[in-house]
Amino acid sequence: MDVLVPFDARDPNSRLAPVLTPDERRAFAAEMLADVLAALDATDADATVLSTASVACDASVDVDERPLTEAVNARLVGADGPLAVVMADLALATPAALSRLFGTVGDVVLAPGRGGGTNALVVRHPEFRVDYHGASVRDHRRGAERVGATTAEVDSFRLATDVDEPADLVEVLLHTEGRAARWLHDAGFGLRTGDGRVRATRD
């Protein structure tokens, strides 16, 4: 399966700004990207990082400065077979969850993200295009219907969890032991319980 992994090398995960400096966000984003690429590497995926600028990582990199939707659609136009798109901040992704995505039958297979996003998808229809603005999972369902493509959805907490705000750091600390989790530990983050909610706090 050919897989695109879009990555913002310039100002990644901007909603983590309340808890991480710009340099820390870039470093943490690179660790999450490495985790996603490692998980993909244990599947049948042939991954290409679609990055807004050059980035050092363990996959081929295709630099495209255009906005996400435009850059992905340019690849869908040229695809001569199935193409998957997997976001770079899915730090909880496992080979099992990704294999379930790639193995689900459908012209368009969606992995919904929390809050209406589309964290990963597989496209097997020549006319389908993405639109990552707004409630994209709803728009992708409609877009698939419009071009006569069958759709399916994969029910995965790991793929639904894009790590883009401070509360999401809890999930990384609880559910992975990958590079992103180690980076958080090294940066002094840990879980705090006690007042009813679980929070990731820093020393």
List residues near a copy of itself by CB under 8 A: 94, 96-97, 112, 114-116, 133-135, 137-138, 155-161, 167, 170-171, 174-175, 191, 193-194, 197-198
Closest CA to 168 of 200, 136, 146, 197: 200
Shortest spacing between CB 79 and a copy of itself, in angstroms: 27
* Residue 81 CB coordination number (10 Å): 8
Nearer to a copy of itself, 66 or 133 (CB): 133
Q: How far is the CB of 190 from a copy of itself (least distance, A)?
A: 11
Select from 66, 96, 156, 74 the least CA-distant residue to 120. 156
Helical (H) or strand (E) element with 183? helix 179-186
Closest CA to 187 of 11, 25, 9: 25
User: Nearest approach, Cβ of 199 to a copy of itself (angstroms)?
Assistant: 9
Angstrom distance (rounded) from CA 20 to CA 148 = 44
State which H helix or E strand residue 146 sits in: helix 136-146
The distance of closest approach from Cβ of residue 31 to a copy of itself in the complex, given in angstroms and rounded to an integer, is: 21
CB of 200 to a copy of itself, least distance (A): 10
Which CA distances in Å does 81 have to 74, 75, 127, 147?
14, 11, 12, 17
Nearest to 110 by CA among 89, 125, 94: 125
Cα 47 to its chain centre, rounded Å, is: 13
- Comparison of 26 and 114: residue with beta carbon closer to a copy of itself: 114
Q: What is the DSSP letter of 132?
A: -
Closest separation in Å from C-beta 158 to a copy of itself: 5
